[in-house]
Amino acid sequence: MIYGEAVKEGVFPSIWQRPLMMEKGLTALPWWSADKMGYFNDLTRIEKKMDVITRWMLWRGGGGGGGGGGGGSERMEKRSK
């Protein structure tokens, strides 16, 4: 099989992983944890605010129904208290 030969020659990392563009030494993972991406602090802050973000999205009509909703962020602050 040609892909097996390419793996033996170091062209592809595996017969199943054959990207169009390769960067030698770049790690390919199916899922990256926050600490490996380099955005750990940003993602942690967002994760801690997910309840507020979710409420805001639902309030703004972000449920996918196209309902709109609206008002400024100052209205949301008054509602959430």
Q: Break the chain into its structural domains and give their ranges.
A: 1-29, 31-81
How far apart CA 16 and CA 22 sit, in angstroms, is 14
pTM, two decimals, is 0.35
> How does pLDDT run across 30-55, given as a tens digit for each residue?
777 777 777 888 888 999 999 999 99
Task: Render the burial of 1-38: b for 16+ CB within 10 Å, e for the rest.
Answer: eeeeeebeeeebbeeeeeeeeeeeeeeeeeeeeeeeee
Q: What is the pLDDT of residues 16-35, one digit of tens each?
A: 877 777 677 777 777 777 77
d(CA 67, CA 78): 21
**Confidence (pLDDT) at 53:** 93
Q: Which of 43, 16, 20 is nearest to 30 (CA)?
A: 16
